[in-house]
Structure 1
Amino acid sequence: MLELQVGVAKIGKYATPESGDTLEMIERPHGGFSFVLADGQGSGRGAKTLSNLVTTRAISMLKDGARDGAVARAVHDYLYAYRHGQVSATLNILSVDLSARSVLVSRNNPCPFYVIDEQGMTTYNEPSTPIGLYSMTKPVITKISLRPYVYVVVFTDGILHAGRRYNESIELDNYLGNFNVRQGRTAQEVTDDLLGRAVELDQNRPNDDMSVIVMAALPMESENKVRRMTVCFPVERA
C-alpha cells in the first residue's frame, strides 16, 4: 500500500494582521482530494478577501465534479469579469486522482513547483500567468504518476523570494536537489523545513506571505485504512 501525506505550513507577512494566502481542501466526488492555494495581489485584508474569493469559487466547482483545468479557467474568467482585469491572484490546484492513480498540478503562478523521486528532482517552470489580468489566461497542467517515494512541492512567491531584501537566496534547486527520498521523511517535516528556512532568510520577519504544500507518496506495510487529518494554528490570547 501507499500512504499519501500532505503537509501544509503558512505564515503571514511580518506586522500584517492577515495573510493574503488562502488554502482550502476538498474530497473529490469520484475519489481523491484537491488542495487549492491562492495568493491575492498585495497583502493584508484586501489580499485575503481576494484569495478567499478565488478559493471559494474553485472549491465549489471541484465539489461539483468539474475538472481542474476547467475550474482554473472558470475562476480566472470570473475574477477578470468581476474586477475588470485590475487585480490578480496566483492559483495552484494540487489534486490526487485515485481512480487514475495520478497527481495533477494546475498552475497559474510564475513560481515553479518541484517533483522529487528516486530518479532525482524535476523543476516545472513553464511560463505561467496569474489569473485576473488578461482575457485568455490558461493554467499550465502537469500530470504525475502516483508511485512510491514521490514528493510534490508547491509554494507561493514569499518562499521563492525569501532573503532578497538581505541579498540572500533560498536556492531551492540546491536544497531539494540533495533530498534523499529513500529516507522516507514525512510531508510535514519537509514542509516545516522549507518554511523555516524561508523565514530565517528574512531574519524572522517575513517580507511576504508564505505558504508551502508538500505531497508525499510513501510505502506503507500496514493494511490500516484509517484516514487522519491534523490542523494546528496559533491563536493570540484575548
Structure 2
Amino acid sequence: MLEIEVAAAKIAYHGSGESGDTLEMIERPGGGFSFVLVDGQGTGRGAKTLSNLLATRAISLLKDGARDSAAARAVHDYLYTYRMGQVAATLNILSVDFQNGKIFMARNNPAPFFVIDHTGLRSYNEPSLPIGLQPMTNPNLTELAVRPYTYIVVFSDGLLRAGERYDEDLELVNFLSAWPTEAGHTAQTLTDTILERAIALDRGQPSDDMSILSLAILPRDQAISVRRMCASLPFEAPTWPAP
C-alpha cells in the first residue's frame, strides 16, 4: 500500500502580521484531493485579501468538478477582468486524482516546482506567467505517475529570495538533489527543513512571504486505511478584561 503525505508551512515577511499567500485544500468529487496555493501581489492585508479571494474561487470550481486547467484559466479570467490587467498573482494547483491514478500540476508561477524520485531531481521550470496581467494566459500543465519514494516540492517565489540581502543563496537545487528519497522521511520533515534553512538565511527576519507545500508518496504496511490531517497554527490570544 502507498501512503500520500502532504505538508505545508508558511510564514509572513518580517514586520507583517499576515502572509499574503493563501493555501487551500479540497477533496475532489471523483476521489483524491487538490491543493491551491496563491501568492497575491504585494504583502500584508491587501495581498491576503486578493489571494484568499482567488483561492476560494479556484476551490469552488474544483469542487464543482472543473478540471485543474479549466479552473486555473477561469481564475485568471476573473482576476484580469476584475482588476483590468493591473494586478498579478501566482497560482499553483497540485492534485492527486484517484480516478486516474495520477498527480497533476497546473502552474501559473515563474518559480519552478521540483520532483525527487529514484532517478534524481527534476526541475519543472518552463516559462510560466502569473495570472491577471495578460489576456489568454494559460497554465503550464504537468502530469506525473504515482510511484513510491516520490517527493514533490511547490513554493511561492518568496522562498527563492531567502538570503538575498546578505548575498547568500538557499541553494535549493543542491539541497533537494541530496535528499535521501528511499530513507522514507515524511513530507513534514522535508517542508520544515527547507523553511528552517530559508529563515536562517534571512537571520530570522524573512524578507518576503514564504509558503512551501510538499507531497510524499511512501510505501506503508497498513491493515486499515485511515486518513489523517493535522494542522499547527500560531495564535496570539487577545487580552480579555478580568471578570
Q: TM-score, normalised by structure 2?
A: 0.97
Matching of residues 178-217 of structure 1 within 5 Å: 178-217=178-217
Is residue 176 of structure 1 aligned with residue 179 of structure 2?
A: no
Deviation at 1:222, TM superposition (A): 1.2
Q: Give the match for residue 11 of structure 2.
A: 11
Shift of 1:158: 1.1
Amino acid at match of 2:10: K
Code of the aligned partner of 1:115: V
Aligned residue type for 2:132 = G
- 2:218 maps to 218
What percentage of residue pairs aligned between the two structures are identical?
A: 60
Q: How is 1:110-149 mapped onto 2 (pairs within 5 angstroms)?
A: 110-149=110-149
Shift of 1:237: 2.6
Give the superposition deviation at 1:18: 1.4
Structure 1 residue 223: Cα displacement: 2.4
SS at match of 1:214: strand
Q: What is the rounded CA distance, in whole Å, between the counterparts of 1:52 and 1:222 in structure 2?
A: 37
Residue identity matched to 2:24 = E
Give the total of aligned pairs: 238
Displacement after TM superposition at 1:224 (Å): 1.8
The C-alpha deviation readout for 1:66-102, integer Å capped at 9, x for no partner, is: 0000000000000000000000000000000011111
Larger CA Rg, structure 1 vs 2: 2
Match of 1:38 in 2: 38
Distance 1:218 1:109 in 2: 27
Structure 2, gaps ≥5 residues long? 239-243
Provide the residue aligned with 2:65 in structure 1.
Answer: 65
TM-score (norm. length: structure 1): 0.99
Deviations 1:135-158 (A, max 9, x none): 021000100100100100000011
The CA distance in 2 between the partners of 1:65 and 1:48, in whole Å, is: 26
**SS of aligned partner of 2:57:** helix
Residues of 2 paired with 1:66 and 1:82: CA distance? 21
CA RMSD of aligned residues (A): 0.6
Deviation above 6 Å: which 4+ runs of structure 1?
A: none
Alignment correspondent of 1:55: 55
Unaligned residue ranges in structure 1 (runs of 5+): none
- Give the counterpart letter for 1:93 in structure 2: I
